[in-house]
Structure 1
Amino acid sequence: MSAASWIAVDWGLSNLRAWVIGADGDILDKRVSGQGVNTLARDAFEAALLDLIGDALPETGRMTILVCGNAGAREGWAEAPYRAVPSAPPGVAQATRALTLDPRLDIRILPGLKQMKPPDVMRGEETQIAGVFAARPNFDGVICLPGTHTKWAQVSAREVVSFRTFMTGEIFALLEKRSVLRHVVGDGWDDAAFAEAVGEGMSRPAPLASNLFSLRAEALLAGLAPDAARARLSGLLIGMELAGARAYWLGQPVLIVGEVGIAQAYRTALAAQGAMVETIDAEAVTLGGLVAARAGMKDAAP
């Protein structure tokens, strides 16, 4: 750990991830904690970070720690004001410095991006977009960032031009765990059921509420398998999202951040519509974005 030069941090709502970076840019260690922003009061952030990376800090001097994600939200460690699109992903020059008790900590929190019309915000995804630009310098098109709140970002000339957020993942989680559908959905997956439901959700989004209840009814009356019910629930919701996001992906090259799980589901759904779609590793672009954001710091080394 004595060779550590700086620390990259992705602080989300549910999890905290840190990479200890050496002077040559090599990753000396990766740390993960369940102390996400949703679990912490404002005065608990410093202690949570020290629990995770305290042994990587120097005995004397200061260590630069560059943070992206919801640590910069209003309810986070220190609010990092949004920057308006069109904009390049913010770098260290736009970061907010958080006050600390430990003199070894030099905390820089990156801001998110905002869009006034229609109103929208992102935190963390802008750093992943910076990582996409680092990996694909000439990419122009649409970046899809699936998750609890999926983002669709139109990018050109290494700037975010516009973006839209869909709460599809959160709606799925609420329906899966807290609605009447919790009695009929399983933990597995059915590819054919998903594909069929995506098509239905795209072509007929209006009766979504009725189609969702039909999953419950079909399970009771016709023995709909739990895995098929779960895949159809996801497919109906993603299909409705694709209908709403059509202006972003139709006729555009689409790069999905992520290669497994929900990202793969989005790729399958888009490919079925004839979209030009690729995937890229989410962790790689997150770290790549933090590295790119730090590149402008001249005095970062402790």
Structure 2
Amino acid sequence: MNTEWIAVDWGTSHLRAWAMQGRTVLDQARSDAGMARVGKDGFQAALLALVETWLADTPVDVIACGMVGARQGWVEAPYGAVPSQPLPDAPIRVPDTDPRICAFVVPGLKQMAPPDVMRGEETQIAGFLAARQNWDGVICLPGTHTKWVQVSAGEVVSFRTFMTGEMFDLLSGQSVLRHSVCEGWDDNAFVDAVADTLSKPEQLAARLFGLRAADLLHGQDKGTARAQLSGLLIGTELAATRPYWLGQQLAVIGADGVSQIYATALKQQGAFVETENATAATLAGLSLAKDKVNS
């Protein structure tokens, strides 16, 4: 296999890598060696354990995005300040690497007021915009920490982060609701819950406990409760982001499942939404970052 370069998406929980020839994927691999599980001196070993079979004697460029560039990461890649292009600067070189690799990390973006930061999403935004000349609008990037990003004239103008995904995980796994929520889904229950908190976000805390009470008193299906929990949290998020998405051209970039959930919620409010797969956007963005290394 003739690996020309290696694309890496290194988040808090997972490490994903792709052996690349130009913009074609030759092979891919992933592990649970996310930043949260790797010590400061363990990043190179974690990467080599995943990609060593792709390496040869000639050094291969490794282009990485995500939390690997955080202060606790492999090398700190300073944030670029918005408004700016998604990838305003060349990736930062990682010093003293194995001679078989030349590793580079893509910098994230920061917003001074209100204070906010992103790492990894800037690469997806760059990849999305590369295929859409003169695209202006708002991009939603759902996940553990969902981003809402205003884009104009090829630049990230502003953004906000919501801890909706993390709140869902905490509430469904560590709160009293863990007894009333399990795998399963109910589309109608989700849509109704979104509409409920979108119109009355101040009722969120009471609506959440109502999921537990509905289980105790009425034996409500736990999959229905899961859909309601998601809908309640996303509805509150949509209430807060209304100035971002109302009347705007919208795109959702994320894993297929969560992207469809957000798209469904937005379409119920009359919004027109296109979706883009997060992996495709990430690889397109990392390809652009590689071009900056070689320019």
Question: How would you bin the TM-score normalised by the shorter chain?
Answer: over 0.9
Q: Which residue of 2 aligns with 1:106?
A: 102
Task: Measure the CA separation in 1 of the matches of 2:176 and 2:129.
Answer: 43
Q: Which residue of 2 aligns with 1:73?
A: 70
Q: 1:1-302 maps to which residues of 2 (within 5 A)? A: 1=1, 3-22=2-21, 24-59=22-57, 61-90=58-87, 93-258=89-254, 260-298=256-294
Task: Measure the CA separation in 2 of the matches of 1:198 and 1:137.
Answer: 33
The answer to whether the 8 A contact 2:143-2:254 is kept is no
Task: Name stretches of at least 5 consecutive residues in structure 2 with no aligned partner.
Answer: none
- Tell me the TM-score normalized by structure 2: 0.97
Task: Measure the CA separation in 2 of the matches of 1:7 and 1:181.
Answer: 42
Task: Measure the CA separation in 1 of the matches of 2:293 and 2:91.
Answer: 11
The residue matched to 2:215 in structure 1 has which SS?
helix
Task: Measure the CA separation in 2 of the matches of 1:261 and 1:267.
Answer: 10
Task: Measure the CA separation in 2 of the matches of 1:270 and 1:130.
Answer: 23
Task: Measure the CA separation in 1 of the matches of 2:96 and 2:31.
Answer: 20
Q: How many aligned residue pairs are there?
A: 295
1:94 Cα shift? Answer: 2.8
Task: Measure the CA separation in 2 of the matches of 1:135 and 1:189.
Answer: 34
Task: Measure the CA separation in 1 of the matches of 2:292 and 2:10.
Answer: 21
Residue by residue over 1:206-256, the C-alpha shift from the partner in whole angstroms, topping out at 9 and shown as x without a partner, is 121111001101111112111111111110100000000001000001100
Task: Measure the CA separation in 2 of the matches of 1:101 and 1:25.
Answer: 24
Residue by residue over 1:12-59, the C-alpha shift from the partner in whole angstroms, topping out at 9 and shown as x without a partner, is 11111111112x432211111111111100100000010011121222
The residue matched to 1:297 in structure 2 has which SS?
helix
Mean CA deviation greater in 115-124 or 257-266: 257-266
Could you say if the C-alpha distance between residues 229 and 287 of structure 1 is closer, same or farther in structure 2, counting changes exceeding 3 Å?
same
Could you say if the C-alpha distance between residues 222 and 25 of structure 1 is closer, same or farther in structure 2, counting changes exceeding 3 Å?
closer
1:63 Cα shift? Answer: 1.3
Task: Measure the CA separation in 2 of the matches of 1:213 and 1:297.
Answer: 51
1:194 Cα shift? Answer: 0.4
1:99 Cα shift? Answer: 2.0
Letter in 1 for 2:270: G
Letter in 2 for 1:33: S
1:101 Cα shift? Answer: 4.3
The answer to whether the 8 A contact 1:135-1:285 is kept is no
The answer to whether the 8 A contact 1:148-1:170 is kept is yes
Residue by residue over 1:46-82, the C-alpha shift from the partner in whole angstroms, topping out at 9 and shown as x without a partner, is 00010011121222x3211111000000111111010
Could you say if the C-alpha distance between residues 25 and 241 of structure 1 is closer, same or farther in structure 2, counting changes exceeding 3 Å?
closer
The answer to whether the 8 A contact 1:259-1:279 is kept is no
1:184 Cα shift? Answer: 0.5
Task: Measure the CA separation in 2 of the matches of 1:244 and 1:202.
Answer: 9
- Tell me the TM-score normalized by structure 1: 0.95
Task: Measure the CA separation in 2 of the matches of 1:101 and 1:260.
Answer: 35
Task: Measure the CA separation in 1 of the matches of 2:16 and 2:255.
Answer: 19
Task: Name stretches of at least 5 consecutive residues in structure 1 with no aligned partner.
Answer: none
Task: Measure the CA separation in 2 of the matches of 1:32 and 1:8.
Answer: 12
Task: Measure the CA separation in 2 of the matches of 1:170 and 1:243.
Answer: 18
